[in-house]
Amino acid sequence: MTALLGMIGLMFAAGCFNPPVERYKANKAMEAGDYEQADRRLNKVIERNPGDWEAHYLMGKSHLGQDRALQAQTEFEQALAVKDESKHTPKILDGMAESLHKQGRNAELYAFLDEQIERYEGWEDYARKARFLARAGDIDSAALAYRQAAIFSRNTSDEIYIEIADFYEGLGNYDHAIQALKWAYFINEENPTLPNRFRRLGVVPGPTLKEQPPQPEYEGESLFKLPNLINE
């Protein structure tokens, strides 16, 4: 009888463990700066399911927050091994790139960025490259990569034009930033961040601001001409 009750107790305890809840609490702990709690919760999830990609991804973020970039890279690699062709892949690749950057492994970082472009050819891959080029101070190459990101988005995402706007706003080029926001507004007029972004740049938001983004030119699958997305 005692043994039976013990088994029931163990089954109940196991049933109470909820990986999504643990991941959620770990993420909230990270937001509060409590990386020790985050790691503890995520380790429990990974111990029970080594293939839990999200727990590995969050552990990578936790390690980045603790300046443990090499360990972070390992966790992102584990996550990518499970989710290498998924809507979640771009954010895992973002984490990988950041871990390489924080290790100061710049040659490997840029090789990694180009490898992802060659493999996935998504706008996120060009945008990721643009971000790190901008952080390195290579503004011209970053602008080129942002143009390519816009092309490969096929004007289906307002996110890339918002990122381009942020890029030019950071450079103090408000005319270019406003233009990019107009294209973002055309794609998604319901984006709740756009009105304040326009106001921040001294523009009163309204439906007349919408402008259709330039249409990219293709020859089969090969990009042969960059449209003049930003007049420089």
* Banded pLDDT at 15 (limits 50, 70, 90): low
Question: Is 57:79 a contact under the CB 8 Å cutoff?
Answer: yes
pLDDT at 46 over 80: yes
Residue 206 confidence (pLDDT): 93
Cα–Cα dist 168/180, whole Å: 9
Domains of the chain listed by start with CATH number: 17-100 (1.25.40.10), 121-232 (1.25.40.10)
* Residue range 19-38, pLDDT digits in tens: 999 999 999 999 999 999 99
pLDDT at 168 over 60: yes
User: DSSP states of 89-130 as a string?
Assistant: HHHHHHHHHHHHHHTT-HHHHHHHHHHHHHHH--HHHHHHHH
Please list the alpha-helical segments (H only) found in the chain: 2-16, 19-31, 35-48, 53-65, 69-82, 89-102, 106-120, 123-135, 139-153, 158-170, 174-187, 194-200
Which of 86, 104, 32, 26 has the alpha carbon at shortest distance from 60? 26
Question: Is 60:75 a contact under the CB 8 Å cutoff?
Answer: yes
Cα–Cα dist 21/148, whole Å: 39
What would the two tokens of residue 132 be? 């790190």
Cα–Cα dist 145/139, whole Å: 10
Cα–Cα dist 47/154, whole Å: 42
pTM here?
0.82
* Banded pLDDT at 109 (limits 50, 70, 90): very high
Question: Is 42:58 a contact under the CB 8 Å cutoff?
Answer: yes
The residue among 220 and 14 whose pLDDT is bigger is 14
The residue among 142 and 6 whose pLDDT is bigger is 142
